[in-house]
């Protein structure tokens, strides 16, 4: 009768947390076009922070409603309002704010972390010209907003196609952001390319998985898939559980890739190392929160329809992923010599702990995971923010890039006691030492695992934590108890003349391998001779570090209210 | 639940206030150089006084707590306070002490001012460093009081782990040995490994409680004891016992997981060693007594033979290794391994006599080993190279008679000379153990002879003979050092001659522990008499 387009009834208030951020992203693009260059940066930063705060406010306003009215399906489940959705959105928004603050910081050396023109080939005259012209990249702020929008949508849908779109919306801006590092341009572009390539593979696999699930159930709505699982006669292929198993596993691959769980973790260290450090912090914390949120949404929803065989197969897959991830993260983390890579492997290990919390498909697990994401995110953003401030300095006093080699961090405690204390706090939280947020987070996931009968997993997790403590403590020992390299070098200088000469001979050979040989060699030689200096923040990053440290301590000491909120958020199904 | 003045919370909070005051005294004085604010001479010097006064006020508060404590009901938790902390996890901020816990709190609070006094000129004259050291000591004091006062397993665990951090910095940051970083990391990794295994058991403990009995106070020790009794699966109980016991054995330290201790003793300052070995490590034995036994009674009885064997090995092995040491502080460390073996032996006798003997011994060992460490520290400070090698000394008694005398008394208390407090407790442990494990006692008794060897041989090598060139001109103990040594020795003598009042605090808890673990006294009729007999016997 009526073939015309029927506009769906949409409760716009429910979509507000996502809309605010995406709308601000569009606005940000307009700002790029119309706001004069000198005011652009400030405008963008304020717009971005306002959008994130607005999103957070929207979540807070929706919270009583969802507790009262229960779940809301918008446009047939394309958008889903549940306590769990709001909980993950709140975590993403809360973490994105300090993340953006770090991105916005220009250190006392007067420059931010981003290349003046990301498209320029590293080391070319064009790039030099752009730098001298004082160009700055303010497009990063809308990109961050689009990514955040995708993250907010990711755990908030019942529809697998929308899930895929959210994945792409959050990934594409991140690929670009990874390529924009001001220093070590080649590494940054390599990281972006690697991330893009592997990310595309993961997306493709996920899409294939969605197709298989659709083939099985004749629908892309998770709730309907559950219905078909319970009543196979509803769908022509409903009697082929192998189809849905393969499909779900492939969807999991896509999600686990974003989470950074082994064996889909290989991009993590390279990308975390190559990307501009503020972006790494943002990506590590917020992407993981969103992706784990989506993982929980898909898994826990479908779990209601699984029979024992299906459930068993999925649980085995999760066990394997959890064990592998914890193993890779902690063992490989223990031998890293670069701070950013070390934090990357630590992030992999955390992905493993998160998966440990999921194996029971229980509310206890969902609560633990939401809490974990917050605790982990605060410590991660804070830690990467500290990394942005520890720099190299050449003989003439010019501040260079970040001093990421671990050895350079020796004796940092004397140069910057407060910064060191904050970094130590973040590391202790990641290690799960009591009275920090990280301890309760770990306690929660292990509790969920033991409750689900997966106590071997919890024991393995505990052992992995013990190994992880080793490499976190190693960094603390280095910063606090080891004298700085320059101080140690002085008395040893006389005796070490010969090895020093040998090192000088090796270095140019190393550098010669680079593409822009001259520049790279010069840079590397400079790096090798540089001393380490802690640059001051112009405010935002310092504020972010303070906020994160405060968060880690407060959530660690008085976790009751946060845990209660996480407990309310753990209701993930109607 | 809370009754009257919150003595324990104040006892926990005050050292933190004192630590903050100490850390801030004199900051900003003098001129900043190279980005580091260097405190002026006066400012940092005043920090010592702030720390000392803070610690003495804490002693005053402790006296108040003692007055508020009712000795006639020493086995029940008193001065209790209970507040909601993390209801979602069933954890509460619950503190309270029974007689044993109160004595251990007293030990912590009593030793801190002495440690501060002993450290007056430590840290190589770097006053700013000394200030940070003393502030860390006070922070550790807060944790020590809190961990003994915790009445909630979750809270206990949190404090048990969290206090590793100040302890770690005390060893690694302020130690005097060249291997201090290594020792600090070894200490931390050993303790954390044990702690994490215990964490798994804490998680399991919560989940063993039947769902209908879980609530915002699940982790309260008394609730756990009541709720677990019926529902505990034997295998799970044994596994959890093993996890808890491992953590406590590492802490205690017990052979074969004691290896971190000598390294720490060698490389930390004597003050740090005093707090670490005399107080902090008591958390291990205290945990065995107040958590392992009542929470896992069946598993405790099941494991007792193994534990006893390990305890006896600790007693003998620690003593033998002590004899072979060249380093004075390492030697004292090994004597502690031996003494902790006695304490654990006493606990796992499951007799009121043995357990109260062990409880008393926890106090006495703290005082006597603290005296040994601190007096040894005075001797080392006098050596021109601050050598810790025993062979570098000789004839000290002639040039510094008071130093020699105090060292001898402290040493004699380590070998449990009658008339000193350690004798009372050691006899109680032996008598308690003899009723149930006569063979263990027979094997362990030679340790007394070994103790005489390591104490007297050391005294002979360091203090008798002609003074060696290095120490020929040293001065004797000054007033400050005499105060430190005098207080400790007075405590040993008083507790040795009049142990009755102190035993009032441990006797009943000992009996209750035996009931909780569900053991019957091997010779029920005679135990009570023996207790009395020992008490009166020593009083004469």
- Nearest-by-Cβ selection for A564 from B88, B185, B207: B88
Give residue ranges of A with CB < 8 Å to any B CB. 367, 414-417, 428, 433-435, 439-440, 442-444, 446-447, 450-451, 455, 458-459, 462-463, 465-466, 469-470, 473-474, 477, 480-482, 558-560, 563-564, 567
Instruction: Please return the burial class of A333, using the count of CB atoms within 10 Å of its CB with bins 0-12, 13-18 and 19+.
Output: buried
Lowest-confidence pick of A437-441, A516-520, B101-105, B461-465: A516-520
- Contact B89/A at CB under 8 A: yes
Residue of chain B whose alpha carbon sits nearest to that of A450: B204
pLDDT reported for residue A384: 94
Digit-coded pLDDT (tens) for B310-347: 999 999 999 999 988 888 889 999 999 999 999 999 99
Task: Identify the residue among A349, A426, A434, A484 best suited for mutation to test binding to B, counting B beta carbons within 10 A and taking the highest.
Answer: A434
pLDDT reported for residue A513: 39
pLDDT reported for residue A569: 85
Q: What is the mean pLDDT of chain B?
A: 84
Residue of chain B whose alpha carbon sits nearest to that of A555: B86
- Average pLDDT on B213-221 reads 82
Q: What is the mean pLDDT of chain A?
A: 85
How close is the nearest chain B Cα to the Cα of A446, in Å?
A: 7
Digit-coded pLDDT (tens) for B79-88: 888 888 888 8
Lowest-confidence pick of A448-452, B32-36, B53-57, B204-208: B32-36
Q: How confident is the model at residue B34 (pLDDT cuts 50, 70, 90)?
A: very low
pLDDT above 90 covers a percentage of chain B that reads 22
Q: How confident is the model at residue B253 (pLDDT cuts 50, 70, 90)?
A: confident
Q: Where are the domains of chain A?
A: 12-489+523-569
pLDDT reported for residue A520: 46
Pairing, β A79-81 against β A72-74: antiparallel
Length of chain B (residues): 540
Which of A194-208, A222-236, B217-231, B403-417 reaches the highest mean pLDDT?
Answer: A194-208
In a domain, B68, yes or no: no
Phi, psi dihedrals of residue B152, rounded to the nearest 5°: -130, 130
Please state the separation of Cα B188 from the chain's center in Å. 17
Summary count for chain B: helices (H), strands (E): 24, 4
Structure tokens, B207: 């989940």
**DSSP helix/strand/coil, A338:** strand
- Chain B residues with CB inside 8 Å of A564's CB? 87-88
- Average pLDDT on A176-194 reads 88
In a domain, B1, yes or no: no
- Average pLDDT on A205-228 reads 92
Q: How confident is the model at residue A23 (pLDDT cuts 50, 70, 90)?
A: very high
In a domain, B158, yes or no: no
How far apart, in Å, are the Cα atoms of B416 and each of B145, B426, B451, B462?
Answer: 27, 7, 9, 21
In B178-237, the residues whose Cβ lies within 8 Å of chain A are 180-181, 184-185, 188-189, 192-193, 196-197, 199-200, 202-204, 206-207
b/e per residue B112-145 (b: at least 16 CB within 10 A): bbbbbbbbeebbeeebbbbbbbbbbbbbbbbbbb
* H or E, element range at B89: none
- Chain B residues with CB inside 8 Å of A459's CB? 200
Lowest-confidence pick of A199-213, B108-122, B137-151, B514-528: B514-528
Using CA atoms, how far apart are residues B252 and B340, in angstroms rounded to an integer?
Answer: 7
pLDDT reported for residue A486: 61
Using CA atoms, how far apart are residues B280 and B286, in angstroms rounded to an integer?
Answer: 10
In a domain, B150, yes or no: no
Residue B220 forms beta bridges with which residues?
A: B152
- Chain A residues with CB inside 8 Å of B35's CB? 415-416
- Average pLDDT on B449-458 reads 90
Q: How confident is the model at residue B222 (pLDDT cuts 50, 70, 90)?
A: confident
How close is the nearest chain A Cα to the Cα of B180, in Å?
A: 9
CB contact under 8 A, A435 and B158: yes
pLDDT reported for residue B226: 81
Residue of chain B whose alpha carbon sits nearest to that of A567: B88
In B159-188, the residues whose Cβ lies within 8 Å of chain A are 159-162, 164-165, 169, 172-173, 180-181, 184-185, 188
Lowest-confidence pick of A90-99, A324-333, A519-528, B501-510: A519-528
CB-based contacts of B363: which residues, under 8 Å, 6+ apart? Answer: B103, B104, B106, B107, B421, B425, B495, B502
Per-residue pLDDT for A418 more than 90?
Answer: no
Range of the domain at B370: 296-534
Other beta carbons less than 10 A from residue A547's beta carbon: 18
Give the residue, A485 or A14, on which the prediction is more confident: A14
In B257-296, the residues whose Cβ lies within 8 Å of chain A are none
pLDDT reported for residue B539: 41
Per-residue pLDDT for B29 more than 80?
Answer: no
Question: Read out DSSP for A400-418?
Answer: EEE--BGGGGTTHHHH-HH
Quote the crossing angle between the two packed helices A288-303 and A83-104, to the nearest 10°.
170
Please state the three-class secondary structure of A502-520 as a single string.
HHHHHHHHHHHCCCCHHHH
**ipTM summary value:** 0.83
pLDDT reported for residue A110: 66
Q: Looking up tokens 């004292």, which residue turns up?
A: B332
pLDDT reported for residue A518: 45
CB contact under 8 A, B192 and A560: no
- Average pLDDT on A484-494 reads 53
- Average pLDDT on A555-562 reads 87
- Nearest-by-Cβ selection for A462 from B157, B173, B200: B200
CB contact under 8 A, B88 and A459: no
- Average pLDDT on B181-200 reads 87
Give the residue, B239 or B173, on which the prediction is more confident: B239
How far apart, in Å, are the Cα atoms of A333 and each of A443, A475, A509, B117, B439?
Answer: 22, 12, 28, 43, 50
Per-residue pLDDT for B174 more than 90?
Answer: no
In a domain, B463, yes or no: yes
pLDDT reported for residue A212: 94
CB-based contacts of B531: which residues, under 8 Å, 6+ apart? Answer: B352, B353, B356, B428, B503, B507
pLDDT reported for residue A80: 87
Torsion region of B186: left, alpha or beta (phi above 0 gives left; psi -120 to 50 gives alpha): alpha
Per-residue pLDDT for B402 more than 70?
Answer: yes
Per-residue pLDDT for B300 more than 80?
Answer: yes
CB-based contacts of B26: which residues, under 8 Å, 6+ apart? Answer: B39, B40, B42, B43, B44, B45, B46, B47, B128, B131
- Average pLDDT on A104-112 reads 75
Instruction: Please return the burial class of B439, using the count of CB atoms within 10 Å of its CB with bins 0-12, 13-18 and 19+.
Output: exposed
- Chain B residues with CB inside 8 Å of A439's CB? 158, 161
Residue of chain A whose alpha carbon sits nearest to that of B197: A462
Q: How confident is the model at residue B526 (pLDDT cuts 50, 70, 90)?
A: very low
Question: Do the Cβ atoms of A445 and A368 come closer than 8 Å?
Answer: yes
pLDDT reported for residue A487: 57
Other beta carbons less than 10 A from residue A300's beta carbon: 22
Per-residue pLDDT for A73 more than 70?
Answer: yes
CB contact under 8 A, B203 and A477: no
Per-residue pLDDT for A135 more than 70?
Answer: yes
Using CA atoms, how far apart are residues B477 and B480, in angstroms rounded to an integer?
Answer: 8
Give the residue, B122 or B411, on which the prediction is more confident: B411
- Average pLDDT on B249-273 reads 87
Using CA atoms, how far apart are residues A464 and A359, in angstroms rounded to an integer?
Answer: 17
The residue among B142, B82, B90, B87 whose CA lies nearest residue B112 is B142
Q: How many domains, chain B?
A: 1
pLDDT reported for residue A514: 39
Per-residue pLDDT for A113 more than 80?
Answer: no
């Amino acid at each position: 009768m009526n073939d015309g387009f029927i506009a769906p009834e949409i409760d716009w208030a429910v979509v507000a947390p996502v809309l605010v951020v995406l709308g601000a992203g569009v606005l940000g693009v307009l700002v790029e076009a119309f706001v004069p260059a000198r005011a652009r940066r400030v405008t963008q930063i304020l717009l971005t922070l306002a959008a994130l705060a607005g999103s957070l406010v929207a979540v807070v306003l929706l919270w009583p409603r969802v507790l009262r009215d229960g779940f809301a399906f918008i446009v047939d489940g394309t958008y889903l309002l549940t306590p769990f959705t709001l909980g993950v959105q709140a975590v993403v928004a809360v973490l994105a704010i300090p993340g953006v603050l770090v991105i916005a910081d220009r250190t006392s050396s007067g420059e931010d972390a981003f290349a003046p023109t990301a498209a320029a080939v590293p080391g070319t005259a064009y790039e030099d010209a752009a730098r001298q012209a004082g160009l700055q990249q303010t497009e990063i702020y809308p990109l961050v907003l689009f990514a955040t929008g995708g993250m907010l949508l990711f755990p908030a849908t019942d529809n697998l196609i929308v899930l895929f779109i959210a994945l792409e919306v959050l990934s594409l801006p991140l690929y670009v952001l990874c390529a924009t590092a001001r220093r070590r341009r080649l590494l940054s572009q390599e990281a972006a390319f690697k991330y893009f390539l592997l990310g595309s593979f993961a997306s493709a696999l996920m899409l294939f998985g969605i197709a298989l699930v659709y083939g099985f159930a004749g629908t892309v709505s998770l709730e309907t898939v559950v219905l078909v699982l319970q009543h196979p006669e509803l769908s022509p292929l409903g009697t082929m559980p192998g189809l849905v198993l393969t499909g779900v596993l492939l969807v999991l691959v896509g999600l686990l890739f974003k989470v950074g769980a082994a064996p889909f973790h290989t991009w993590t260290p390279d990308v975390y190392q190559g990307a501009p450090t503020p972006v790494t912090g943002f990506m590590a914390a917020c992407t993981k929160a969103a992706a784990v949120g989506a993982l929980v949404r898909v898994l826990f929803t479908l779990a209601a329809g699984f029979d024992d065989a299906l459930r068993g197969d999925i649980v085995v897959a999760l066990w394997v992923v959890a064990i592998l991830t914890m193993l890779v993260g902690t063992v490989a983390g223990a031998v890293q010599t670069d701070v950013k890579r070390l934090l990357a492997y630590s992030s992999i290990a955390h992905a493993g702990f998160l998966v440990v919390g999921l194996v029971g498909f229980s509310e206890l697990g969902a609560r633990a995971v939401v809490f974990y994401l917050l605790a982990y995110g605060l410590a991660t953003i804070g830690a990467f923010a500290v990394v942005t401030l520890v720099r190299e300095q050449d003989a003439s006093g010019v501040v260079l890039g970040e001093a990421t080699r671990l050895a350079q961090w020796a004796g940092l405690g004397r140069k910057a006691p407060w910064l060191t204390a904050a970094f130590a706090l973040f590391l202790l939280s990641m290690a799960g030492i009591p009275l920090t947020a990280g301890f309760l987070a770990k306690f929660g996931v292990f509790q969920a695992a033991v409750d689900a009968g997966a106590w071997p997993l919890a024991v393995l997790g505990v052992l992995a934590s013990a190994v992880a403590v080793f490499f976190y403590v190693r960094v603390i020992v280095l910063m606090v108890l080891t004298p700085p390299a320059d101080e140690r070098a002085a008395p040893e200088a006389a005796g070490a003349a010969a090895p020093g000469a040998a090192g000088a001979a090796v270095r140019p050979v190393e550098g010669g391998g680079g593409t822009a040989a001259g520049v790279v060699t010069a840079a590397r030689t400079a790096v090798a001779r540089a001393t380490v200096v802690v640059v001051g923040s112009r405010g935002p990053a310092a504020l972010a570090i303070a906020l994160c440290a405060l968060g880690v301590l407060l959530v660690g000491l008085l976790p009751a209210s946060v845990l209660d909120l996480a407990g309310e958020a753990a209701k993930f199904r109607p | 639940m809370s009754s009257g003045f919150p003595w324990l919370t104040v006892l926990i909070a005050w050292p933190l206030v004192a630590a903050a005051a100490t850390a801030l005294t004199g900051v900003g004085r003098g001129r900043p150089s190279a980005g580091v604010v260097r405190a002026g001479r006066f400012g940092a010097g005043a920090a010592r006084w702030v720390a000392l006064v803070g610690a003495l006020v804490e002693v005053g508060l402790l006296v108040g707590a003692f007055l508020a404590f009712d000795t006639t009901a020493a086995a029940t938790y008193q001065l209790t306070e209970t507040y909601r902390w993390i209801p979602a996890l069933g954890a509460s901020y619950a503190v309270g002490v029974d007689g044993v816990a109160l004595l251990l709190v007293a030990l912590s609070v009593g030793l801190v001012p002495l440690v501060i006094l002993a450290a007056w000129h430590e840290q190589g004259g770097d006053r700013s460093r000394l200030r940070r050291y003393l502030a860390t000591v006070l922070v550790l004091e807060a944790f020590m009081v809190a961990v003994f006062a915790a009445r909630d397993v979750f809270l206990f665990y949190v404090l048990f782990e969290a206090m590793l951090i100040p302890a770690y910095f005390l060893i690694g940051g302020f130690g005097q040995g060249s291997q201090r970083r290594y020792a600090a990391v070894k200490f931390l990794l050993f303790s954390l490994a044990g702690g994490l295994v215990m964490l798994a058991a804490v998680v399991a403990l919560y989940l063993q409680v039947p769902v209908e009995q879980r609530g915002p106070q699940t982790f309260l020790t008394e609730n756990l004891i009541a709720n677990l009794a019926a529902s505990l699966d034997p295998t799970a109980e044994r596994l959890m016992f093993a996890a808890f016991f491992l953590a406590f054995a590492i802490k205690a330290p017990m052979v074969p997981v004691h290896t971190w201790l000598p390294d720490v003793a060698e490389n930390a300052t004597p003050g740090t060693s005093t707090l670490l070995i005399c107080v902090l490590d008591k958390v291990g034995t205290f945990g065995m007594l107040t958590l392992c036994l009542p929470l896992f009674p069946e598993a405790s009885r099941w494991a007792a033979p193994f534990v006893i064997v390990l305890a006896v090995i600790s007693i003998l092995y620690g003593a033998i290794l002590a004899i072979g040491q060249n380093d004075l502080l390492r030697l004292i460390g090994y004597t502690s391994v031996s003494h902790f073996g006695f304490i654990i032996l006493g606990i796992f006798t499951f007799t009121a006599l043995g357990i109260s003997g062990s409880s008393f011994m926890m106090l006495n060992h703290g005082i006597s080993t603290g005296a040994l460490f601190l007096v040894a520290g005075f001797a080392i400070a006098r050596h021109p190279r601050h050598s810790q090698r025993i062979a570098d000394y000789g004839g000290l008694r002639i040039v510094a008679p008071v130093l020699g005398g105090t060292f001898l008394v402290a040493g004699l208390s380590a070998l449990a000379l009658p008339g000193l407090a350690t004798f009372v407790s050691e006899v109680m442990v032996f008598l308690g153990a003899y009723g149930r494990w006569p063979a263990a006692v027979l094997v362990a008794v030679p340790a007394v002879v070994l103790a005489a060897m390591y104490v007297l041989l050391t005294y002979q090598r360091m203090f008798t003979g002609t003074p060696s060139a290095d120490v020929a001109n040293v001065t004797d103990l000054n007033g400050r050092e005499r105060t430190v040594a005098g207080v400790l020795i007075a405590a040993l003598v008083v507790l040795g001659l009049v142990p009755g009042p102190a035993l009032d605090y441990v006797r009943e808890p000992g009996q209750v522990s035996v009931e909780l673990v569900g053991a019957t006294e091997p010779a029920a009729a005679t135990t009570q008499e023996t207790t009395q007999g020992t008490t009166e016997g020593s009083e004469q």
